[in-house]
Structure 1
Amino acid sequence: MTHRRARFTAGLAGILLLTAGCTASPEPTPAGMTAQASTAAPTPTPDSRAELVAALQRSQDVSHRYAVRGDLPEKQKITGTGAFDPTARRFQSTIAVTGGKYPSAGSRIVIGTDSYVRPSDDKNWVHVDLKRVRRDDPFLRFDWGDPTGLKAFTSSITSAYRAGPHTYTGRFDPREDEAKSFLPVGAPSIVSLGMPLSPFTITTDDRGWVTSIKVELTPSEGPKLTLTTTMSGHGKPLKIKAPAKAGEAADFYYDK
């Protein structure tokens, strides 16, 4: 079976452009401190950033589950869940975008070089051979090095400090890679142009695993966007299997 909707579903959330002016907002005040005491706020340190980066890298390098929710441009909302095992090379996600002019939803399973996609309103899965997909294909390609955008987000962190025993606060650069979307982590769908450094809050558990990532973006037009990703089940086995039945994507999807 061939299926013309494979490309739609592979993109899931699609790619949305986000722009903003160059006026940066002030460094966030740590929890529990008043605005009047902001001058006494802890200074971001290289050690804090290094600790946070290590925790993020460690959390990405093991199997885990995640959930994402938040705001998108054009009055859209995004929700989703997923699981990723970098060692076994298994990945799955279900994403829904609501509101706006182009709501969409779908699921994806990737095992090695085999990708399976399905729109939410279709019971049929479509198989895509990743070995045949162009590296620059924005919809069908799959990056095993950073499928959720967490690696790119980690690289974008410019400053960090501890706001509590299990909390880091700081700034990241949404423009770290303008050629690739990495937000929200878990469902990359926003490309930021001209955005200033933006605030984040990250929490960890007693074992040092990252459990939540919250970021805020302030576009020049429209309300502030808040995006939250939670992570769980670090290092635990995942049961991700290929669909029992799947049709084949049409040859034109692989045209160079």
Structure 2
Amino acid sequence: MPTPTPTRAADVPKPPTSLVRRARKIDRVLAETYPDAKAELDFTNAFELLVVTVLSAQTTDKRVNAVSPTLFATYPDAAAMAAGDRTTLEEMLKPVGFFRAKTESLLKLSGALCERFGGEVPAKLDDLVTLPGVGRKTANVVLGNAFGVPGITVDTHFGRLVRRFGWTDETDPVKVEHAIGALFPKRDWTMLSHHLIWHGRRCCHARKPACGACPVARWCPAFGEGPTGYDEAAKLLRTEGRA
């Protein structure tokens, strides 16, 4: 019978020392490459971060950042948003796409915050994931960046890179989270997420990675999926996340 795939952090077998060393070396180099790595969504508090993270689904951070000043000037907290006018909110959210569905999500989310948490964003993962539209990815973003609670954010970039790096072959986000968590100290989880997401947006692209200009190419088993010559690869590099 096949070995069952671990679904909890406690079930993940201890990874080989060589893999741990290689993974941590890659992260150290990425930390040096992207010393300013951070969440690229604009926010000033936990509520704003929760909202913009929900809005960022199927759109770009830049589009969300463009609407957030007006959004939070009108709805500065959960109570204001829960009582907000649906039509007005939809009009504000048109630039981010799927605006009707996202309006519904924000109204339900802010309502739940008011009804169950006194209008405040909870600082525990188990509480966050009970909120409408909030999964582990969103919860970890909020925990790590608003509350300083270490968390691994498994978005499409993170998942792609950890598989290319050979850190795991898992595709389920929760299993990826647990597998990668076993390779790094918990204190490093939030910044590790930033490093990989920044690298995925700027260099290790989905369709054509800039292998020849990649700072961690020597440790990457997927080297060669993109152009390996520096000049050609360098043309693919971006100085910021996609617009």
Common topology (TM > 0.5): no
> Normalized against structure 2, the TM-score is what?
0.30
Answer 1 or 2: which has greater helix percent. 2
Relative to the length of structure 1, the TM-score reads: 0.29
Q: Which has the higher strand share?
A: 1
